[in-house]
């Protein structure tokens, strides 16, 4: 009987499989990764806030980071199938090449915003700390709706808050925001800000 020598196993099929899986995961995994990690690290903030969201750009960047890891493993598989090299060197090179993706995923997890009775807190991309926009700083509020010409439906798209400095803060309408419209509207009214309506996508709309 001959014993199988584990050292001689070809790693290329496994590396190729990992590369393919990571590329496919880049489409839907960001939503899972972002939700899980933000629930773990920012649970207390979510409990004490009216809404807690991550910008869609964060999901896109997280997906790009996962896709990047898949490409790294794909290149490693290609290298191992065409050139003989030291395993330790190629493994170390893969680990180093994956560091930017891990950093980007960490940054996207820390990119979020949430609302409380004090105002709107934003942790901007690459920011070291949160920025608070107090309700007193909001001078205009617009609920933007989109008109779909195919089925003649109107759907709420985003809430836009404009600060006294001219900065526009956008929040996409989801179930959480729709459910908590009342306290947000009350906070605006207390500061004499009327929630305006704007329809986009229809001829004659703005």
pLDDT digits (tens, 9 = 90+) for 160-192: 999 999 999 999 998 899 999 999 999 999 999
Neighbours of 198 (CB within 10 A): 12
- Please give the angle made by the CA atoms of 61, 63 and 68, to the nearest 5 degrees: 95
Taking the whole predicted model, whether its pTM rises above 0.75 is answered as yes
What pLDDT does residue 80 have? Answer: 78
Pair of tokens at residue 174: 């989801």
Q: How far apart are CA 16 and CA 183, in angstroms?
A: 51
Segments making up each domain of the chain, as ranges: 8-113, 130-200
DSSP β-bridge partners for residue 160 = 142, 170
Q: Which fold has domain 130-200?
A: 3.30.720
Cα–Cα distances in angstroms (integers) from residue 77 to residues 81, 117, 129, 191, in the given order: 6, 53, 40, 60
29 three-class SS: helix
Q: How far apart are CA 137 and CA 99, in angstroms?
A: 39
Task: Please tell me the least confidently modeled range out of 70-74, 148-152, 192-196.
Answer: 148-152
- In this structure, are residues 19 and 9 in contact, taking their beta carbons and an 8 Å threshold? no
Q: Give the E-state strand segments of 85-205 in sequence order.
A: 112-116, 119-123, 131-134, 138-148, 153-163, 168-172, 195-200
What pLDDT does residue 103 have? Answer: 92
Mean pLDDT of all residues in the chain? 86
What pLDDT does residue 163 have? Answer: 96
What pLDDT does residue 160 have? Answer: 95
- Is the per-residue pLDDT at 3 higher than 50? no
């Amino acid at each position: 009987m001959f014993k199988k020598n584990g050292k001689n196993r070809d790693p290329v099929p496994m590396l190729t499989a990992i590369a393919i899986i990571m590329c496919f995961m880049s489409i839907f995994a960001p939503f899972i990764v972002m939700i899980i990690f933000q629930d773990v690290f920012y649970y207390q903030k979510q409990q004490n806030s009216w809404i807690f969201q991550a910008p869609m750009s964060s999901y896109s960047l997280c997906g790009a980071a996962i896709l990047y890891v898949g490409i790294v493993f794909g290149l490693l598989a290609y290298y191992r199938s065409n050139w003989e090299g030291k395993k330790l060197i190629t493994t170390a090179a893969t680990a180093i090449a994956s560091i930017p993706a891990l950093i980007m995923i960490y940054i996207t997890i820390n990119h979020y915003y949430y609302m409380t009775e004090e105002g709107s807190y934003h942790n901007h991309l690459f920011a070291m700390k949160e920025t608070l926009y107090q309700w007193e700083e909001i001078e205009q509020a617009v609920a933007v709706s989109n008109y779909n010409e195919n089925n003649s439906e109107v759907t709420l798209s985003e809430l836009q808050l404009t600060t006294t400095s001219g900065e526009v803060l956008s929040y996409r309408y989801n179930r959480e925001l729709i459910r908590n419209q009342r306290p947000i509207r009350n906070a605006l009214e207390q500061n004499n800000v009327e929630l305006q309506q704007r329809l986009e996508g229809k001829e004659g709309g703005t």
